[in-house]
Amino acid sequence: MNITTRTIAARTLVLLCLALAATRASAQACGTIQDLGNLGSGSYEATAMSADGEVVIGRYYLGNAVARAFRWTEATGMQDISMPWGDTWAKAVSSDGSTIVGYGQNYLKLDRAFRWTQATGRQDLGTLGGSTANAIAVSADGSVIVGYSANFDGAPHAFRWTLATGMQDLGTLGGFESRATAVSADGSEIVGWANDSGGSQKSFRWTAEDGMADLAPEYPSAFYTAAASADGCTIVGWFEWGGHRAFRWTIDAGLEEASPPGSVTSYATTVSADGSAIVGYRIKWGDNGPVEETFHWTSDGGYKFISGTSTNSGLYHWNESVSKDGGVVVGTSSDDRMAVRWTERGGTLPLFSNNDRDSWAYAVSANGEIIVGAVVDQSIRSAFRWIKNPADVNGDGFLNGDDFDQFAEAFETGDPSGDFNHDGFVNGDDYDGFAEAFEAGC
């Protein structure tokens, strides 16, 4: 069968699929739900993952109120990576999935930072001379870990750890304490907050060349650093100036307020890996009092406000996560506690069709196609992984003629995006794969 004949046949098949899809349209984002299993009867949440979504980490409880940490892959299933004595928190996983960092209680019930790899298992990272340490973030390849540790005086100081140097004290801005909250993909730039000599909390950026630098030395206000782009050149958070104000700092422009117009208070909570999009929330005055809204900002599109899944007048609060290019935002609609996925084109869509059960979305993969979180079904909380239907080629959360038209155009012109099965060729196998995925529906 030549390409033209196959194209006509495939178009006919997909049009039939479109008619079928119209009779079974769904209000949920189009994807499949994968239960990540368990390590015994208890409560489970998937909280983070590698950039490609293939390595998932999270926490669970087995009825004794002790928090435990797990790692999951398709090949291994769910593995326990907990400290043996008490609560353990897996805080981050490297982009390549090789390294997990976090902290857990030792036999004295004191927090200790750890690093876990498949080759070495769990490794204690030591301290800065005190008794506690907490690992918070890790570079893309797992080689640089940051967090905070007590020094000899018991003061928490930001640290940088590598296998070659061990734990390095990053100091403060003249005050008592500091904490590292994020690290660039290559490990060269670290951000966080520290006290200055007057006791104010300030945002910092650290490099080996310049050491710890105050992002806004001209402002006496208190600052909190929330997140940084992959290259460390865009940093977001909030500061005190007649209320909380969202900020964006870039290496070119310095500090800029990022509050949406009309905000009483605002918080920038995360930034896309490429630095193009900021996500946060603001409080404004509505007709019936204060209203909380999630916002999405880009330099080209300005501010867009992300609603929850209902028209209720309650507040919306998200555990936001954003894709690498800023085009997909995931979180939880707080008026009805539903895991949701947002795109500018498709709007806000729940991940589950059954909206009488609680669910939470905590993280999204770099390409926006995999989401992890937790869902309650019959009083049992389970960790899940949501995977976008690949036939939703425009990523808006729906399967319809727009997807077919976009795929057909790519296929007929030989565009690489028409390589549906990712084998390096654009041929009839791709059309068959697309038609099958489309027919499967949502």
| CATH number of the domain bearing residue 128 | 2.130.10.10
Are residues 379 and 251 part of one domain? Answer: yes
pLDDT (mean) for 95-121: 98
pLDDT band at 293 (very low <50, low <70, confident <90, very high): confident
- Say whether 15 sits in a helix, a strand or coil: helix
Arithmetic mean of pLDDT over the chain: 91
Residue owning tokens 């791709």: 430
Are residues 284 and 223 part of one domain? Answer: yes
Amino acid in the structure at residue 49: M
Q: Are strands 145-151 and 129-138 parallel, antiparallel or unpaired?
A: antiparallel
Q: What is the reported pLDDT for 319?
A: 64
DSSP state of 1: -
Cα separation, 168 vs 172, whole angstroms: 13
Are residues 200 and 69 part of one domain? Answer: yes
DSSP state of 260: P
Are residues 163 and 66 part of one domain? Answer: yes
* Percent of the chain's residues with pLDDT above 90: 81
Number of structural domains the chain divides into: 2
Q: What is the reported pLDDT for 149?
A: 99
Q: How open is the CA angle 406-407-412, to the nearest 5 degrees? A: 105
Are residues 425 and 311 part of one domain? Answer: no
Amino acid in the structure at residue 371: I
Q: CA dihedral defined by 39, 40, 45, 46, rounded to 10 degrees?
A: 20
Cα separation, 237 vs 368, whole angstroms: 23
Are residues 5 and 127 part of one domain? Answer: no
pLDDT over 50 (residue 300): yes
Are residues 362 and 295 part of one domain? Answer: yes
pLDDT (mean) for 306-311: 64
- Say whether 7 sits in a helix, a strand or coil: helix
Reported as a single tens digit per residue, the pLDDT across 345-357 is 999 999 998 767 8
pLDDT over 80 (residue 115): yes
pLDDT band at 241 (very low <50, low <70, confident <90, very high): confident
Are residues 340 and 256 part of one domain? Answer: yes
Are residues 142 and 6 part of one domain? Answer: no
pLDDT (mean) for 192-221: 94
Are residues 88 and 22 part of one domain? Answer: no
Question: Domain of 423?
Answer: 1-30+409-442
Cα separation, 270 vs 308, whole angstroms: 18
Are residues 1 and 56 part of one domain? Answer: no
Strand-pair partners of 12 = none
Sign of CA dihedral 6, 8, 12, 18: positive
Are residues 141 and 66 part of one domain? Answer: yes
pLDDT over 70 (residue 175): yes
